[in-house]
Amino acid sequence: MPGFTIAAVRSPVTSEIVLPVNQPAPQKQSLLNGSSWICSSNLDAEEDGWNDNIRNFQFAIDAIKTEVYDQEWDKALANWKKAAGNVNFIMQNINDRAEDPSKPYFVLIDDAYDSRRKAYRQAIVDKLNYRNAVGSLAMR
Parent domain of 125: 110-140
pLDDT digits (tens, 9 = 90+) for 103-122: 888 878 887 766 677 777 88
* Whether residues 53 and 121 fall in one domain: no
- Does any domain span residue 23? yes
| Span 75-90, average pLDDT | 92
In a shared domain, residues 84 and 44: yes
pTM of the complete model: 0.64
Could you tell me if 33 and 48 lie in one domain? yes
Whether residue 91 sits in one domain with residue 55 = yes
Task: For residue 44, give Cα distances in angstroms to 8, 38, 39.
Answer: 38, 11, 8
Question: What tens digit of pLDDT does each residue of 97-106 get?
Answer: 888 878 888 8
Q: Are residues 40 and 79 in the same domain?
A: yes
Q: How many domains does the chain have?
A: 2
Name the residue among 48, 52, 43, 58 with its Cα closest to residue 3: 58
Q: Are 68 and 2 in contact (CB under 8 A)?
A: yes
